[in-house]
Amino acid sequence: MKKLAKILAAAALCVAALTTFGCGDDKKEAAKAPAGDAPIKIAVTAGPHAEIMDNVKKLAEKQGLKIEVVEFNDYVTPNVALFQGEVFANSMQHRPYLDATLQKEPKFDLVEVFKTVNFPMAAYSKTLKKGDAIPDGATIGIPNDPSNGGRAILVLA
C-alpha cells in the first residue's frame, strides 16, 4: 500500500509537470493546457492506467488542478487523440511501445515528458497450474505489437 501511495504521489507531480512542459515540440501546434476552469484532458487505457489516473485526479483536485480522465479501450487511439490535440497528454504506454509506434504511419510527433508505471507481464492458463511446464506443441497467444510481443517472448523464455 505504501508503494501505491508513492506511485500516486509521483504521478500527481508528473501531471503537474505536464502543465508546465506540455507535449510535443516547437515544430507543431501542441495541445495547450486549458485556460481558466477547464479540466486538463489526460488519455488512458482501461484498467490499471485509468485507476491510477482517477487517483491522480483526486490528488490534483486537492491542489486546485482539474483533470478529466479520457478512457480508451485500445493502445492506438490515445496517441491519435494526443497528436490531434484532443487531449493534453496520455499515460498508457512504455517507451519501447512509443518508439515502435513512432516508426509507423501515420507519423506521430510525440515526445516522452515523464516516466509512469510499467506493469509486469505474466502467463495465464485455464489448464496449467502454477509451476507446470508448458507442453511441447502448446498454442500460446502473445501481444501483436513488437514491444509487448518481445516482452512476452522473454517471459516464455
> Of 115, 105, 15, 27, which Cα lies nearest the Cα of 55?
15
Q: Write the class of the CATH domain 2-102.
A: alpha beta
> Of 100, 85, 92, 105, which Cα lies nearest the Cα of 41?
85
- Label the pairing between strands 40-45 and 67-72: parallel
Helix (H, G, I), strand (E, B) or coil at 156: helix
Instruction: Write out pLDDT tens, residues 7-47.
Output: 444 454 454 444 333 444 444 444 566 767 789 999 999 98
Instruction: Write out pLDDT tens, residues 69-120.
Output: 999 998 889 999 999 999 999 998 888 888 888 877 677 888 888 888 888 8
Where in the chain are the domains? 2-102, 123-157
Whether residue 91 contacts residue 42, with contact meaning beta carbons closer than 8 Å, is answered with yes
Its pTM stands at 0.66
Helix (H, G, I), strand (E, B) or coil at 69: strand
